[in-house]
Structure 1
Amino acid sequence: MSQVEAAKKLAAYRAVDENLPPNAKVVGIGSGSTVVYVAERIGQLPNKDDFICISTGFQSKQLIIANGLRLGQIEQHPDIDIAFDGADEVDPQLNLIKGGGACLFQEKLVASASKKLIIVADFRKQSKHLGEHWHQGVPIEVVPIAFTKVINELKKMGAKNVDLRQGGKAKAGPVITDNNNFLLDADFGIIENPRELHLKLKELVGVVDTGLFTGITEKVYFGEETGEVTTWKGEVIGTASEEVIEESK
């Protein structure tokens, strides 16, 4: 295991150990390379049969099953005690870009239903502003018949480039989300006000949701290149607090 991979594992284990309530009944588990270790750690707990795990998509469902955890549906358990997920980019106010893995709407649904959202990622996801390092663009889930209309409106809003995400070598045609929608990736460059942009995007007819997560993250654990773990914290009150504490251990 590389030093970075070891740090991701350490960050994930610490996130679980420091935040999972001992009496939790419902736990959300997201997707991504770091969340693999979250599911692994939760699967090691002696009380793992005492709670239900809610997935954010196909990959996380498989993680839950593979680690011997009890799989539930958010329709049955809409009140989630805590959720763990990854991110494509994080700014110091704990705003996130998510959706690079195409699990967008379900990730936001689980996050919004959770009392706490804890993010685990590696150091490459840290940015001073969203859009600084993540150049793929803001993922936007759209109803298929509306994608052309939405692309035109995004360009009018100032998007430098908008791509209908393609399936690549594995699939001819666009990516289809777990909810049978399309994904657009809209590059707005540096995003000064993520919440404002999210609200404007949500007003567009045909947009299901966006990959901008604002004001819902309590803490982020980063696996550093040095093998250490950095923690960013913020208060979740409408939008994330501008006061962020960084701790290196």
Structure 2
Amino acid sequence: MSSLIEEAKRRAAYRAVDQHITYHVRLVGIGSGSTIGYVVERLLQRGKEANARIVFIPTSFQSRQLIVDNGLTLGDVDQYPELDVTIDGADEVDENLNAIKGGGGCHLREKVVAEAAKKFIIIADYRKNAKTLGEKWKQGIPIEVVPFTYTRVIKELKDLGCENPTLRMANAKAGPVITDNGNFLIDAHFGLVNSPGELLRKIKLLTGVVEVGLFVDVADVVYFGNEDGSVSEKKR
């Protein structure tokens, strides 16, 4: 099963690179997560000359290291506030191309780099393809919060209808996960999210919330690698 999933990720990543990182593209956002390694793999297959004119902007420490370790040109969104294309993964995508992101804890920077791009591309395997958000991704919506506000935010999320918002705890250290920005993460499961835009607005209004892992009306194209070896394409 794992090899099937990895191959699905690879096919989606390759299709996105081949169709969207074309000759005229100069500034490319590189997302985070397991699928992004295959984006870099495909870029390297094209050779140094094809990548020499492109500046790559990371969304996390992980993607920064991928860019640096593979000899690609590193940039920053501070230098390049408008990008040509950003390619990133997702935890789940609905039929309207809205997504849940932040399972890896990078959704603040991922959203900044996604919104900076003229075209935002999501790549994923077939497990992430849903009709409605919350249908397949059961871990909840990731919410980045200022540390001293997390108790209050958890209470207010319950008031919004979240049954059990949870402070995300680290696996290899005692205590909570700390984001690249020095903040905490809360995972908030709301069941099926039929109105992601409305829920996003309500959560963003809570004092202490830095960013919400709901990407609403941001993606232009989504590529899903399927079990049968095909790649499905969804456009806005």
Q: TM-score range by the shorter chain?
A: over 0.9
Q: Map Cα deviations across residues 214-235 of structure 1 (whole Å, 9 max, x no partner).
A: 101011111111222111111x
What are the within-5 Å matches in structure 2 for residues 119-198 of structure 1? 119-168=122-171, 170-198=172-200
User: Which 5+ residue runs of structure 2 have no aligned equivalent?
Assistant: none
Per the TM alignment, residue 21 of structure 1 is displaced from its structure 2 partner at its CA by 3.4
Counterpart in the other structure of 1:244: none
Q: Map Cα deviations across residues 168-198 of structure 1 (whole Å, 9 max, x no partner).
A: 2x11100000000000000100001001100
Per the TM alignment, residue 103 of structure 1 is displaced from its structure 2 partner at its CA by 0.7
Percent identity, aligned pairs only? 55
Counterpart in the other structure of 1:18: 19
CA distance in 1, matches of 2:202, 2:5: 37
| Residue aligned with 2:52, SS | helix
Counterpart in the other structure of 2:220: 218
Confirm or deny that 1:92 pairs with 2:95: yes
8 Å contact 2:140–2:188 — kept in the other structure?
Answer: yes
**Residue identity matched to 2:219:** T
Per the TM alignment, residue 67 of structure 1 is displaced from its structure 2 partner at its CA by 2.3
Counterpart in the other structure of 1:240: none
User: Matched residue pairs, number?
Assistant: 233
Counterpart in the other structure of 1:63: 66
Report the more deviating stretch, 13-22 or 1-10.
1-10
Per the TM alignment, residue 9 of structure 1 is displaced from its structure 2 partner at its CA by 1.1
What are the within-5 Å matches in structure 2 for residues 8-47 of structure 1? 8-45=9-46, 46-47=49-50
**Residue identity matched to 1:181:** N
Counterpart in the other structure of 1:206: 208
8 Å contact 1:116–1:217 — kept in the other structure?
Answer: yes
What are the within-5 Å matches in structure 2 for residues 210-249 of structure 1? 210-234=212-236
Per the TM alignment, residue 31 of structure 1 is displaced from its structure 2 partner at its CA by 1.0
Per the TM alignment, residue 6 of structure 1 is displaced from its structure 2 partner at its CA by 2.0
8 Å contact 2:8–2:126 — kept in the other structure?
Answer: no
Confirm or deny that 1:52 pairs with 2:58: no
CA distance in 2, matches of 1:126, 1:161: 25
Counterpart in the other structure of 1:108: 111
Per the TM alignment, residue 49 of structure 1 is displaced from its structure 2 partner at its CA by 1.2
**Residue identity matched to 2:199:** L
8 Å contact 2:95–2:131 — kept in the other structure?
Answer: yes
Per the TM alignment, residue 34 of structure 1 is displaced from its structure 2 partner at its CA by 1.3
CA distance in 2, matches of 1:148, 1:214: 26
CA distance in 1, matches of 2:25, 2:116: 14
User: Which 5+ residue runs of structure 1 have no aligned equivalent?
Assistant: 235-249
Counterpart in the other structure of 1:6: 7
State the TM-score, normalizing by the size of structure 1.
0.91
Do the aligned partners of residues 3 and 187 (structure 1) sit closer, same or farther apart at CA in structure 2, a change above 3 Å counting? closer
CA distance in 1, matches of 2:161, 2:169: 22
**Residue identity matched to 1:139:** P
**Residue identity matched to 2:187:** D
Do the aligned partners of residues 176 and 37 (structure 1) sit closer, same or farther apart at CA in structure 2, a change above 3 Å counting? same
State the TM-score, normalizing by the size of structure 2.
0.96
| Residue aligned with 1:199, SS | helix
**Residue identity matched to 1:42:** L
Counterpart in the other structure of 1:79: 82
**Residue identity matched to 2:4:** Q
| Residue aligned with 1:115, SS | strand
